[in-house]
Amino acid sequence: MTGHAIIAELIRCLPAKSVVTDPDLLASYQHDSAALCESHPPMAAVLPTSESDVQTTMEIAAAFGVPLVPQGALTGLSGAANAVRDCIVLNTRKMNRVIAIDAVNRIAVVQPGVTNRELKLAAAEAGLTYKPDPSSWESSTIGGNIATNAGGLCCVKYGVTQRFVRGLRVVLPDGRAAALGRKTVKGVAGLNLTELFIGSEGTLGIITEATVSLDPTPPTPLTMAASFPDATAAGRAVASIRAAGITPSLLELMDRTVLRALEKHARMGIDDAAGALLIAQSDTGHAAAHELEDMAARCADAGGFDIVVADDEHEAEQLVAFRRLSYPALETMGSPLVDDVCVPISALAEMIDYIEESAAKLGVTIGVVGHAGDGNLHPTVIVDPTRPETLDLAHRAFDDIADKALQLGGTITGEHGVGLLKVDLLSRELDPIAAELQSNIKRLLDPHGLLNPGKVMHICNEAMA
């Protein structure tokens, strides 16, 4: 009865066509891109076009005591946007206006449904760029990027989404709208509440507007690729490059499993002898050639071979596009369970070694791809849909890899977020007092636990029960 009543109220109070109830259409709002994560059909999907619509939806959900799950483009890989049982989903893709590009102050003001690509194009018209570039940059939304503190290929030099967010407008679980942060470069008046919502995965509030910083467009980068006998050797090369004080604008790693999948998928002519490939870029202008030369020498010292510099921009773009195809290529091998650990650079080779040992011990296929320059790896365990036992083995490998990352001083997630996929691992990483503080913050902002329940704040939800 509650379901029918809340849907009727949403339809009554929101603009026409804002509420989706057709079961066939609702299926497209059930889950994000994470494989093997629990999800349920939502009762309805709300598609707001304004902050006022978001406020109305939140107020109605609170009044009926119905869970509400925020969504963007559903490109996430942790299940953070998956619909829970008897919930309403609120998808902000239609809030997709670039409100302002301010070239003097180098900022953009956008609604949450603007895609990363759309923001980059708008910034380019002013001679600027928005640097964060998750692999799904062409379709992922700025609201989702902020909610997960998304990373990407450029993070080794330019940092994750958090570095670029200056201010937010958010709607809280009770329907109140708040302006957080500011437009200025500097600002230390009061607590930094903006940071609280970055990476919170929609558990504390709904982002309705973001003010982000833009950068001058850097020179066209030079690109280098180096093959290695194995991924561990490539990890040693990365450590050597970073220890030398070199900060490439991109430093990506793919292991043998990924390369074989990519070669079958995209036919790039990768040498069969390659057990790993590093792709590096430098965008330092006149200094780029010297920087690549230094990186190439360090790759050779670590056992690298077939070290080449792209002849032109098109060839360079092909190499980066090849890297971005890693996940689709792995999908052709089965159902991928994507891990997302990050370790100190000095521990990168040891982490890669452990992943290979874990794969051999458990008899599973694990492909390793990642942003090696900042220690962020995506070990991807392939599950055979025809063999249910491989899912159990995949989860064992998943847990073992997370534990090893923590032992090495790392984290269970570098950029994909906790969502549902890693919610049971969170307690292994958090200090008990830190977990208590998170519970208290969640309780303060969402006392009834209705906003994206069961996700990153799972510990908090249990504490509130």
- Residue 245: phi and psi, rounded to 5, are 85, 10
Q: Does residue 39 register a pLDDT over 50? A: yes
What proportion of the chain, given as a percentage, has pLDDT over 90?
Answer: 88
Q: Do 417 and 76 contact (CB within 8 A), yes or no? A: yes
**Average pLDDT for residues 61-83, to the nearest whole number?**
97
The CATH number of the domain holding residue 85 is: 3.30.43.10
Task: Specify the higher pLDDT residue, 159 or 135.
Answer: 159
Residue 2: its pLDDT value, please? 67
Residues 212, 228 share a domain: no
Say whether both 182 and 44 belong to one domain: no
- Is 313 part of a structural domain of the chain? yes
CB 384 within 8 A of CB 332: no
Question: Are 382 and 336 contacting, i.e. CB atoms less than 8 angstroms apart?
Answer: yes
Burial 412-437 (b: 16+ CB within 10 A, else e): bbbbbbbbbbbbebbeebeeeeebee
Provide CB contacts within 8 A for 17, sequence distance 6+. Answer: 47
pLDDT at position 457, please? 65
Integer-rounded Cα Rg, in Å, for the chain is 22
Domains of the chain: total = 4
Span 297-311, average pLDDT: 95
Does residue 417 belong to any structural domain of this protein? no
**pLDDT class of 318 with cuts at 50, 70, 90:** confident
Average pLDDT on 175-183 reads 97
Average pLDDT over residues 102-114: 98
Residues 328-342 have a mean pLDDT of 93
Query: Is 424 inside a domain boundary?
Result: no
- Per-residue pLDDT, averaged over 313-320, amounts to 87
Q: 332 and 355 share a domain?
A: yes
Last residue of a domain, one of 183, 200, 216: 216
**For residue 169, with 0-12 CB atoms within 10 Å meaning exposed, 13-18 middle and 19 or more buried, which class applies?**
buried
Q: Please tell me whether residues 165 and 210 are part of one structural domain.
A: yes
Domain that holds residue 61: 2-91
Over residues 351-373, the pLDDT tens digits come to 999 999 999 999 999 999 999 99
- Beta-bridged to residue 114, according to DSSP, are none
Q: Are residues 312 and 403 in the same domain?
A: yes
The whole-number pLDDT of residue 83 equals 98
- Residue 101 β-bridge partners: 108
Return the pLDDT at 464.
47
Angle at 211 between CA 205 and CA 215, to 5 degrees: 135
User: What is the rounded average pLDDT of the residues 50-68?
Assistant: 98
91-105, 116-130, 310-324, 402-416, range with the lowest pLDDT? 310-324
Shared-domain flag, residues 181 and 261 = no
pLDDT the model gives residue 407 = 98
- Tell me the per-residue pLDDT of 82-103, one tens digit each, with 9 for 90 and over: 999 999 999 999 999 999 999 9
Q: Say if residue 379 is in the same domain as residue 440.
A: no
Residue 462 pLDDT > 70: no
Which has more pLDDT, 322 or 235?
A: 235
Please tell me whether residues 206 and 246 are part of one structural domain: no
Q: Facing residues of 228 across strands? A: 276
Q: Which residues contact 336 (CB under 8 A, 6 or more apart)?
A: 35, 327, 330, 380, 381, 382, 383
Instruction: Look at residue 3 and tell me whether its pLDDT is greater than 90.
Output: no
Which of the two residues, 92 and 313, has the higher pLDDT score? 92
- Asked if residue 78 and residue 120 are part of one domain, the reply reads no
Rounded to a whole number of angstroms, the distance between the first and last alpha carbons of the chain is 24
| Residue closest to 349 by CA, chosen among 429, 246, 224, 241 | 241
Given pLDDT bands bounded at 50, 70 and 90, which one contains residue 311?
A: confident
pLDDT digits (tens, 9 = 90+) for 381-434: 999 988 888 889 999 999 999 999 999 999 999 999 999 999 999 999 999 999
Q: Band the pLDDT of 290: cuts 50, 70, 90.
A: very high
Does 59 share its domain with 118? no
Maximum CA pair distance of the chain? 69
pLDDT in tens, 141-151: 999 999 999 99
Domain presence at residue 450: yes
Inter-axis angle of helices 231-243 and 288-301, to 10 degrees? 130
| Residue 52, pLDDT score | 98
Band of pLDDT at residue 1, cut at 50, 70 and 90:
very low
Q: Which of 91, 122, 145 is the last residue of a domain?
A: 91
Q: How far is 465 from 448, CA to CA, in rounded Å?
A: 9
Residue 233 structure tokens: 């050797």
**Residue 319 domain flag:** yes
Q: The CATH number of the domain where 153 resides is what?
A: 3.30.465.10
Summarised one tens digit per residue, pLDDT across range 195-214 is 999 999 999 999 999 999 99
Considering the domain architecture, whether residues 76 and 157 belong to the same structural domain is answered as: no
Please tell me the predicted confidence (pLDDT) of residue 463. 45
Q: What average pLDDT does the structure give for the chain?
A: 94
Whether residue 278 contacts residue 226, with contact meaning beta carbons closer than 8 Å, is answered with: yes
Q: 61 and 175 share a domain?
A: no
Q: What pLDDT is stored for residue 30 in this prediction?
A: 97
For residue 107, pLDDT over 90 is answered with yes
